[in-house]
Copies of this chain bind each other. A is one copy, B any other.
Amino acid sequence: MFKAELNDPNILKTSFDAISSIVDEVQIQIDSEGIRLSTIDMSHITFVHLELKKELFDEYECPEPEKINVDTEELMKVLRRARAGDSLIITSDDTNLILTFEGEATRQFKIRLIDIEYETPQPPEIGYENEFEVPFSLLKDAIADMDIFSDNLWQMITFKVDEEKFIVSSTGEFGDAMIEYYHGEKIKEPARSVYSLEKVKEMLRADRFSETAIINLGNDMPLKLTLKMPNDEGELSFLLAPRIET
């Protein structure tokens, strides 16, 4: 059985905050390289990929590869119980994923494994002309701004980039919202795509993974949003299908 120890459980917590809002169940793949998952939501709009390399862990053992299926909401409930200063040991037995927090007391949680057929989705290979970085907090603000005139769950949101600025905007019945940010990067060609506001909100729940978000944007193309840990020890990325404007 594998055993992985993490001094700061927050990376897992923030990742599953987003993942559990996108999918109900997930397959976690564990091997000698680290922990990884790829999943796509039921409507095939958001693809998520999480990779935590063994270097991230304070201890890491995995004699043979394992695949573990869990309910993301149950896992999230446990991760929410992490307290500042706790270290986390992750392991499993035949029927449970086992998370143990070590602090003033030892707190152990067993989450039942799920027996599902799981086919790991493969993300499409996409070549992007543009890549640029924005502060993650700015994206969060932008989404909260767009939300105020949102009329319904189908609210659309436009992402646009030109030589100077990254622009997020949306239009509602009672008002419009727009945020402009000077990105200071080299943009090959201006691009613009429209997405579902609700779907963007789900991705942005991972708000403690990285202070910076790397964005790939094209014209009427999927949005690629990548969050990277320092030293390349972990990465969480999303690929979000565009909405076609009518």
**Which residues in B have their C-beta under 8 angstroms from that of A80?**
148
Whether the pair B105, A180 counts as a contact (CB closer than 8 A) is yes
A179 contacts B by Cβ under 8 Å? yes
- A181 contacts B by Cβ under 8 Å: yes
Q: Is A175 among interface residues, defined by CB-CB distance under 8 A?
A: yes
A177 touches B145 (CB 8 A): no
For the complex, what is the distance from the CA of A77 to the CA of B150, rounded to whole Å? 11
For A127-154 the 0/1 string (1 means CB < 8 A from B) is 0000000010010011011001100000
Q: Chain B interface: which of A109-117, A207-215, A220-228, A237-245? A: A109-117
A180–B111 contact, CB under 8 A?
no
A108 close to chain B: CB less than 8 A: yes
Chain B residue nearest to A110 in the complex (CB): B176
| Pair B175/A78 contact, Cβ less than 8 Å | yes
**A196 cross-chain contacts in B, Cβ below 8 A:** none
Does A122 lie at the interface of the complex (its beta carbon under 8 Å from any beta carbon of B)?
no
Asked whether, in the complex, the Cβ of A107 is within 8 Å of the Cβ of B145, the reply is yes
Q: Quick one: closest B residue to A83, CB to CB? A: B141
Cβ 8 A contact of A176, one of B81, B104, B109, B135: B109
Question: Is the CB–CB distance between A105 and B175 below 8 Å?
Answer: no
Show 15 A/B contacts (Cβ-Cβ < 8 Å), sorted by A: A71-B174, A81-B148, A96-B176, A104-B138, A105-B138, A105-B141, A105-B142, A105-B179, A106-B181, A107-B142, A107-B178, A107-B180, A108-B180, A109-B175, A111-B175
